[in-house]
Structure 1
Amino acid sequence: MKANNPENLKDLNELQSSLSKLDKRLQHIASEMERTHIAEYVDLLNKPRSLIWRNLLAGTARGVGIAIGFTFFAATILYVLRILGALNLPIIGDYIADIVRIVQIQLEGKTY
C-alpha cells in the first residue's frame, strides 16, 4: 500500500480529524475538572481530621444562625400577637392574650 493512495489519504484525514476532536474533548473535560476543584475535594477526603474540623465548624455556625434567626422570628411573632391582643378583638384577642401570657411566664422561668 502506498501512502499516496487516495483511500489511504482519506482514512488518514479522518483519523486526524477524530484525534483532533478527541483532543478537544479531553481538554474540555480537564478544564471542567479544574473548574470544579475536584483535586482539592479528593485531597480533603484523604484528610479525615480536616474534614471533621470543617464539618464541626460548619455545623456550629449553622446552629448559631438557626438560633439567632428563630429568636428574631419568635420576637416578631410575639410583637404582632401583642398588638393584636391590644385590639381587644372578641375570641381572637382572648386566645392571643393567653398565648402571650404563657410565653412570658416561660421566659421568666416560672411554671404556670
Structure 2
Amino acid sequence: MPLEEKMNTMYRLTFEWAHILEKSRIYQYTDLLYSPWRLIWRNILFGAARGVGIALGFTFFAATIIYILQGLGALNLPIIGDYIADIVRIVQRQLEFK
C-alpha cells in the first residue's frame, strides 16, 4: 500500500472520528461539567419542569378515570355500581372541602 493511500485513509478516519465527536456534543458536556453552578441551575429548572409535567399528567389521568367511573355508576351495574358510586362520592366530598 503506497504512502499516499495510507495518508488518505488516515485522514478519512480522523475526519469521521471528528465528525462523530462533534455530533455527540462532547464539547458542550465538558463545558457544562466545568461550570457547576450552571449545571445545578439547569438541573433545578429541568426538575421543576418535570414535576409540573407529572402533576398535569396525573390530574388529566385522574379526571378521566373519575369521568369514566361516573359514567359506569350511572349505568347502575349490580355490584360494581355501588363501589363506583362510593368512590365518586368520596372524591366529590374531598373536592368540596378544598
Whether the TM-score (by the shorter chain) exceeds 0.5 is yes
5+ long unaligned stretches in structure 2 = none
RMSD: 1.5
When normalised by structure 2's length, the TM-score is 0.91
Deviation at 1:56, TM superposition (A): 0.5
When normalised by structure 1's length, the TM-score is 0.80
**Alpha-carbon deviations, 1:32-72, whole Å to 9, x = none?**
11122211111001000000100100000010011011111
Instruction: Find the structure with the greater CA-based Rg.
Output: 1
Deviation at 1:104, TM superposition (A): 1.7
Cα distance in 1 between the residues matched to 2:77 and 2:19 = 65
One-letter amino acid of the counterpart of residue 83, structure 2: Y
One-letter amino acid of the counterpart of residue 58, structure 1: F
Question: Which residue of structure 2 lines up, in the alignment, with residue 102 of structure 1?
Answer: 90
Give runs of ≥4 in structure 1 deviating > 6 Å: none
Q: 1:25 aligned to 2:13?
A: yes
Q: Higher RCO, 1 or 2 (CA under 8 Å, sep at least 6)?
A: 2
Cα distance in 1 between the residues matched to 2:61 and 2:69 = 12
5+ long unaligned stretches in structure 1 = 1-10
Q: Percent identity?
A: 60
Deviation at 1:102, TM superposition (A): 1.5
Q: What number of residue pairs does the alignment pair up?
A: 98
Deviation at 1:18, TM superposition (A): 2.1
One-letter amino acid of the counterpart of residue 63, structure 1: G
